[in-house]
């Protein structure tokens, strides 16, 4: 394993690690640390088959900055970082995570990792052979996805409270469309179904979709997901789904989901406001997973993590109220709050 620091403007530190999986094969990992004013940078490791290193770098920069704002908005003593590994998810193996664990340890605690897209608790267990700077382990609080889903559920409740046409105390008859039925989307769907909501779902994984159809989710074709009638649209897959092409197709009153970086451009928050669509800032509503791994770091219980995720409802509602009072978007209100915390900590 060989690691080098690369110069990236506006980021505290970015590292490129050469993971020597075998004498014939090397994978690249990029670890980006956006800010550590409030504490060490904590963020998951995403494994993706990127076309180029430039694509990987842009993705990890975007994600690391989002984690800094997420931690600040959640009132946590943490900074923001993220890592990506350039690899085919179908070919990941033990050697890859052995090498990656050595890379994380080289940073001496400036960055703490966890699972993310295409990485799971058993992968982090391999990482933990080489570093203590890893969370989301089975012997800790385990997979943080259920806590993320719980936070999103309470974020939806806050959004319903903000919208005059809905009753947040009674979800019967409410229609929620979940885009992406992975671990978070599945748990969110089950919670909403239990409360009597009508749940629609879409996913590229036909098996995952079929499993949730058997539990009562109404399937929606991928190409129809933006134009489908619903009250709440919950993006729970990858980012950039609210963009110039999709924004005019939306038929939802509320956008509240778990995906990171849902808006392709920040200007889309203004467009949603003009259309009368309530947008729950993604890094506020999806902070449950971060709250879970922070509680693991502190040696707290799963119940404490769940209680912290429930607080997302009140935090988000306060941001909605401030946005309304100042005639700004909820995203801008969240940014102001997070930036103020980081600046005060410097």
For the chain, the 3-state helix, strand and coil shares in percent, each to the nearest 5, are: 40, 20, 40
The CA–CA distances, whole Å, from 49 to 23, 112, 310 equal 21, 23, 35
The tens digit of pLDDT for each residue in 200-242 reads 999 999 999 999 999 999 999 999 999 999 999 999 998 899 9
- DSSP secondary structure letters along 95-126: HHHHHHHHHHHHTTTSEEB-B-TT--HHHHHH
pTM, rounded to two decimals: 0.89
Domains of the chain with CATH codes: 2-63+77-127 (3.40.50.10860), 145-345 (3.40.50.720)
CB atoms within 10 A of CB 336: 16
Secondary structure (DSSP) of 59-99: HHHHHHHHHHHHHHHTT-S-EEEEEEEES-GGG--HHHHHH
Which value, in Å, is the radius of gyration of the alpha carbons in the chain? 19
**What's the gap between Cα 192 and its chain centre?**
19
Q: Look at residue 37 in the predicted model and tell me its pLDDT.
A: 96
Residues of the chain with pLDDT under 70: none
Q: What's the confidence (pLDDT) of residue 13?
A: 98
Q: Is 311 annotated as catalytic?
A: no
- Residue 76's pLDDT is 96
Active-site option among 70, 82, 161, 273: 82
CA 189 to CA 249: how far, in whole Å? 23
pLDDT of residue 219: 98
For the packed helices 145-162 and 288-297, what is the interaxial angle rounded to 10 degrees? Answer: 130
What pLDDT score does 96 carry? 97
Predicted local distance difference test score (pLDDT) of residue 122: 94
């Amino acid at each position: 394993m060989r690691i080098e620091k690369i110069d990236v403007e506006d980021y505290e530190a970015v590292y490129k690690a050469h993971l020597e999986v075998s004498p014939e094969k090397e994978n690249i990992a990029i670890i980006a640390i956006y800010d550590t004013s409030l504490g060490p940078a904590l963020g998951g490791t995403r494994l993706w088959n990127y076309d180029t290193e430039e694509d990987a770098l842009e993705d990890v920069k975007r994600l690391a900055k989002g984690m800094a704002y997420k931690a600040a908005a959640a009132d946590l003593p943490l900074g923001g970082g993220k890592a990506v590994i350039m690899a085919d998810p179908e070919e990941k193996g033990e050697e890859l995570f052995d090498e990656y664990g050595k890379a994380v340890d080289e940073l001496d605690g400036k960055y703490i990792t966890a699972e993310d897209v295409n990485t799971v608790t058993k992968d982090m267990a391999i990482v933990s052979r080489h570093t203590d700077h890893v969370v989301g382990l089975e012997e800790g609080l385990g997979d943080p996805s259920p806590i993320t889903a719980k936070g999103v559920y309470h974020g939806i409740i806050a959004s319903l409270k903000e919208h005059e046409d809905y009753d947040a105390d009674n979800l019967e008859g409410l229609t929620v469309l979940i885009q992406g039925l992975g671990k978070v989307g599945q748990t969110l769907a089950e919670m909403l179904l239990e409360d009597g909501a009508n749940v629609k779902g879409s996913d590229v994984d036909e098996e995952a979709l079929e499993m949730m159809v058997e539990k009562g989710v109404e399937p929606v074709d991928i190409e129809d997901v933006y134009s489908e009638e619903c009250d709440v649209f919950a993006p729970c897959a990858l980012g950039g789904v609210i963009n110039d092409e999709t924004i005019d197709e939306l038929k939802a009153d509320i956008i509240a989901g778990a995906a990171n970086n849902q808006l392709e451009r920040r200007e889309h928050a203004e467009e949603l406001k003009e259309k009368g669509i309530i947008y729950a800032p993604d890094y506020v509503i999806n902070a449950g997973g971060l709250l879970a791994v922070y509680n693991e770091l502190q040696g707290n219980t799963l119940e404490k993590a769940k209680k912290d995720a429930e607080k997302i409802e009140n935090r988000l509602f306060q941001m909605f109220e401030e946005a309304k009072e100042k005639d700004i978007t909820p995203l801008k209100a969240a940014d102001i709050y997070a930036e103020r915390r980081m600046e005060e900590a410097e």
